[in-house]
Structure 1
């Protein structure tokens, strides 16, 4: 039976080599990420600074607040792209300095050469997922809330999810303009009820400024009821509302996948499933929360073409360009399938993971074609070549 040390050496033959490659890759990754984020943030700030400073009482603190909310979005968006550039730069440097030749001469296969970069990519992917769940979702919600209120200064904290909701309760159609949560109480703003008879004909319209759920029941406040038959208008300060829909359903209907964490999104989907409502759109975004960070794991495979082969006569530049083309193709396919999943055209799992597995196969095919498959062909040619003097 293989002991732990022998098993480790099967995958990581040299800790020194692994640390060297991981440190090289992560150093380039963070350097490119910081530089790219700084440039993009500056351009974005120049484009939006007029709107931010147009708010009454806005000053330099408003600009800093915008940067603190916008920068996490830029970082999360460009992590996979930065991982691709860092991997290409690392492998091209190793190839140019003939370090890959030394590794291959010591008996390392292409997979074992790429393994340290795979470890670094796993660290990046895990950090990316945690960063999205702890920082980016809150930044997305806060920034959208601030933008919806015209970048107002001294804006009170957001009360939770908001958005227009339509539901049907028996013969009544309910329209809610916004859903919020104040402490433990769910509040519905600008509630409209359209009461219909058995034939679907409108009987009355009820408008309330707000409604809240307390002690197991709903209450409408500032109620105005218009009877379509008698044309009479009645006004009440408040009245009970016999609505069977739970507050969790309203919150689930207004949830935005980019604004909530992984467990919260799963909980919202379960609430919708209890009411028999479709969750395919949310499921696509739910799976994308894992597939997005996992895309960094593909970058060593897609960029491996820059590591193997001679670099003279401009070959290395062509290989780097080919690796970038593979990476950009993956990003295009990933965004396309995500859009198909959000529109309900593609199944959620296929929309989130199909590009990943497709380019996983493409990456391995490129390695076998350019590196692993070349050795048997060369050996066969040497066997068929006649020896001089025979």
Structure 2
């Protein structure tokens, strides 16, 4: 009996994995096509980029989008697998043999959880590296078009005695080194009362980050109550390195899971909000539960027997609920980034709610 049950569970798992691969292939093709069109419109029309260059940028960008839409892979894939089992009357045979729905749903949920673990440990670093590479290559392809930002680029550095706020009109990476243009540096020094006082402002045409210092060119320096002093070049000590400074430019999606705690600490120490990075960390940790919840939810909407009718409507309701869950997840993420919800609450609430809804429906269907 145990051998039979083991074979049955392996069969259901095999069918589920096949459906997940099919859903992944369909979703990946759609994402690649949409991403290529978007990049061709935003980059290709503004820069001299070849087809192969646009395809390269698409390959770099697409994995991050696929990872965001991965819950739909588990929703549609698992639903596809169980609807097929239902259509072939295999679920009827399982239920007639006295097998509980919990027994053949758990392999799908457990495998989804394991895939979630592999995603955050193996795929996440690869995807974030590709996202960071995409942002760099896009800027390089645009030849400065994207470097001009309406609000400029802001950095902050310093220690217990001195703080420097840096604003730049444009930024770029040259051979892995950070270069800023149209730079303003606001220098604050700790006074005897323990308060940071503004001491000087430095304007520069360009600032390039070297090991241990900023190299400024085309400098104009002013202090309160004194005139401006001009110089061709000036060096300002810095505790930033190229990777640390580049992380300030990147989105949280471009920072790997293992680097997020250190990035959060450095961002907080620099006086900037680390909420987006905290939210990203919690969302990554919640990924295995999210994948398992979507599988349970999909299976729960696919168990109605064909002979009772209404399976198509029930499956359609599951798809609609999946889209509703996606928007709920995005709403929680938005509230988390706005610091309305704590990052932990914003990240873990959607998968927990989805899992509870799935378990509730399963209890209603299986146990009455």
TM-score, normalising length: structure 1: 0.76
2:359 corresponds to:
364
Counterpart-to-counterpart distance in 2, 1:51 and 1:279:
29
Matched, 1:164 2:160: no
**CA displacement 1:6-32 (0-9 Å, x = unmatched):** 9xx5xx963322222122112122122
Counterpart-to-counterpart distance in 2, 1:63 and 1:279:
33
Matched, 1:321 2:316: yes
Matched, 1:102 2:93: yes
1:268 corresponds to:
263
2:307 corresponds to:
312
1:287 equivalent among 275, 282, 287: 282
Counterpart-to-counterpart distance in 1, 2:30 and 2:270:
47
CA contact (8 A) 1:84 1:300 kept: yes
CA contact (8 A) 1:118 1:297 kept: yes
Q: Give the 5 Å matches for 1:68-83.
A: 68-83=59-74
Q: Give the 5 Å matches for 1:204-353.
A: 204-208=200-204, 209-210=206-207, 212=209, 214=211, 217-218=212-213, 220-222=215-217, 223-227=219-223, 229-239=225-235, 241=236, 247=241, 250=245, 253-254=248-249, 256-273=251-268, 278-312=273-307, 314-353=309-348
Q: Give the 5 Å matches for 1:2-81.
A: 9=2, 14-54=5-45, 57-81=48-72
Aligned-partner SS, 1:303: helix
Counterpart-to-counterpart distance in 2, 1:306 and 1:55:
47
Matched, 1:192 2:184: yes
Deviates more, 1:70-79 or 1:85-94: 70-79
Aligned-pair CA distance for 1:190: 5.4
Deviates more, 1:170-179 or 1:226-235: 170-179
**CA displacement 1:84-137 (0-9 Å, x = unmatched):** 111111111222222122222333212112022123323432343345423321
Aligned-partner SS, 2:325: helix
1:112 corresponds to:
103
Deviates more, 1:285-294 or 1:81-90: 285-294
Deviates more, 1:196-205 or 1:58-67: 196-205
Q: How many residues align?
A: 351
Aligned-pair CA distance for 1:368: 1.0
Q: Give the 5 Å matches for 1:126-141.
A: 126-130=117-121, 132-141=123-132
CA contact (8 A) 1:137 1:259 kept: yes
CA contact (8 A) 1:87 1:303 kept: yes
CA contact (8 A) 2:92 2:305 kept: no
Deviates more, 1:86-95 or 1:47-56: 47-56
Aligned-pair CA distance for 1:320: 0.8
**CA displacement 1:341-372 (0-9 Å, x = unmatched):** 11111011101101111222211111111221
Counterpart-to-counterpart distance in 1, 2:108 and 2:188:
64
> Which runs of 5 or more structure 2 residues have no equivalent in the other structure?
145-151
CA RMSD in angstroms comes to: 3.5
CA contact (8 A) 1:251 1:268 kept: no
Aligned-partner SS, 1:238: strand
CA contact (8 A) 1:95 1:308 kept: yes
Larger radius of gyration: 1
Counterpart-to-counterpart distance in 1, 2:167 and 2:34:
38
